[in-house]
Amino acid sequence: MATGYTWLLNGIDLDVETGHLAAVTLWRPPISTRRSPVTIPGMHGSLTSGLPVFEDPQIVIGIRTTQTTQAALEEAVNMVAALLTQPTLTVTRVSGGLTTSARAELVSADMDNDFLAGGTSAPVAVLSIPGVFFRDTAAVSTDFPFTADLVNQEVATLSGSTGPIGDAVIRITGACTNPVVTDPGTGTGISYAGTVASGQYLFMSARPLSARISSSASDWLSGGSDVSPAVSFPAAGRLQLWPVVQSATVRKVLLSATGTGRTGSPKLAVRGQRSYL
């Protein structure tokens, strides 16, 4: 079935020629938020409860297959059952030149009652996306000079996102003391109470809340010495980098950063994945 988009499960294309498996599904997942409004007696409406919190969406995938023999039909539907119940299931969406993926969990699968050769079997599966957002591949930004405070600095490698990025890793190149990184639109942030010496690198992550100091600039995900007890965040919450819609076609991810004791050539860089609803 030819469409303008394609869904894959664990890398297997579900949109292939008739006679095999053809996916009939929605174009993109629905968006819903988890609201906790605060009401006050005698007051109209309700009070805001903070930043939007998104529910994990569900994707309904209908898979149709037509086979000429019962044995072929049995094998085709068995393949669907085995694929849907894999211990680790990744859903990939390809549309308009954009490829994004998310981990999925099987909610239910109706394997269809019309299980006869020569007819069309149409199993239907419901998948949940626990992490909510579809993500592209991780990218590292350029090094931003950090000799002075950064104000609304665009992170071009993350711009274009439609959802918040809560797991970006911040790298501070010393020398710098008490660096603080914030999202200017939400006030969320992450900070380190201590000094990053010249020739050292501080890696901070909001989720999980952690930090490491290393002598290697490439220790984004591991390595170095754990300094997590010195990491904190403001009252607004842990750092989330939200896209800012500046026009009908421009969505920028921005950050601000401060620090003291900056000598030499301190820098700041970000490693993360774009986030899509």
- pLDDT tens for 2-53 read 457 888 899 988 766 434 556 667 788 889 998 888 888 988 888 877 888 9
Q: Are strands 209-214 and 225-226 parallel, antiparallel or unpaired?
A: antiparallel
Backbone angles phi, psi at 30, to 5 degrees: -70, 160
Quick one: tokens of 75?
A: 């094998």
Domain 5-133 coded CATH 2.40.70.10: no
Domain with CATH 2.60.120 in the chain: 139-276
Report d(CA 259, CA 240) in Å as an integer: 19
Domain with CATH 2.40.30.200 in the chain: 5-133
What's the residue count for the chain?
A: 277
Q: Topology of domain 139-276, per CATH?
A: Jelly Rolls (2.60.120)
pLDDT in single tens digits along all 277 residues of the chain: 445 788 889 998 876 643 455 666 778 888 999 888 888 898 888 887 788 899 999 998 887 777 788 888 888 788 888 889 999 999 999 988 999 999 999 999 887 766 666 666 777 889 999 999 999 999 999 999 999 999 999 999 999 999 999 999 999 999 999 999 999 999 999 999 999 999 999 999 999 999 999 999 999 999 999 999 999 999 999 999 999 999 988 999 999 999 999 999 999 999 999 999 9
Quick one: tokens of 151?
A: 């104000």
